[in-house]
Amino acid sequence: MTERIAQAFRESAALKEQFLKEHLQLVEQVSRALARVFDRGGKLILFGNGGSATDASHLAAEFVNRFRLERPPLPALALNTDMAVLTSISNDYDYADVFAKQLKALGQEGDMVLAITTSGASPNVLRALEVARRRRLTTVLFTGAKGKRLAQKVDFPFVVPSANTPRVQEVHITLGHVICQMVEEILFEAPGNNS
């Protein structure tokens, strides 16, 4: 058992290293783009299903509350948190509409959308990204190896090169934390400290 435990940690670390080599510049680009969104009065809207839903909520909380720095709150919200909204849309329309309808109500030009789907095939995520494109929202995708086709339809695609869902999710939450840290540093640290 100890070897299987160690192997899981090694796989996670190796995948993060591989991901970093392929996406380092993109992480910087998205961090700067999101800092501009906040600086111009826009917001970050996140969504996903299952573990990705909790990642969306977790990251929204990091922006609204704080991550590492004491600073003003940043406007971020996860679309998977309001039970009344989720269940009414699912009941009256279809579960595939739960994020799209909310995005129609809440998304405004100048906002950024962060969609999280390890499979890249979640119908509710796909529909919401269609709404985001029509509304000219900046789109960011966290996905796994199966999401390569969807990645071609967003502004900033992060494709973790694995189909192992737990390992993909581990990269996603690290990625979200790093982006949050970079945004805080860009917006709130003294000039010269964010190179």
Q: In this model, does residue 83 exceed pLDDT 70?
A: yes
pTM score over 0.85: yes
Find the distance separating the first CA and the last CA of the chain, reported in whole Å.
43
CA neighbours closer than 13 Å in the CB half-sphere of residue 100: 18
pLDDT of residue 71 exceeding 60, the answer is yes
User: Residue 87 pLDDT > 70, yes or no?
Assistant: yes
> What are the pLDDT digits (tens) for 92-113?
999 999 999 999 999 999 999 9
Q: Is 162 helix (H, G, I), strand (E, B) or coil?
A: coil
Q: What is the number of other CB atoms lying within 10 angstroms of the CB of residue 147?
A: 26
Predicted local confidence at residue 194, as pLDDT? 45
Helix (H) or strand (E) segment spanning residue 57: helix 51-64
Q: Residues 136-175: pLDDT tens digits?
A: 999 999 999 999 899 999 999 999 999 999 999 999 999 9
Distance of CA 33 to the CA centre of its chain: 13
CA distances from 89 to 14, 79, 113 (A): 40, 12, 20
DSSP for 167-186? HHHHHHHHHHHHHHHHHHHH
CB neighbourhood size of 5 (10 A):
9
- Extract the tokens encoding 9: 């940690």
For the chain, which domains are there?
A: 2-188 (3.40.50.10490)
Q: What is the pLDDT of residue 190?
A: 60
- Structure-model confidence comparison of residues 195 and 29, the more confident one: 29
Q: Is the pLDDT of residue 191 over 90?
A: no
Distances (CA, A) of 19 to 27, 74, 116, 143, 161: 11, 27, 16, 12, 7
CA distance 171 to 21: 13
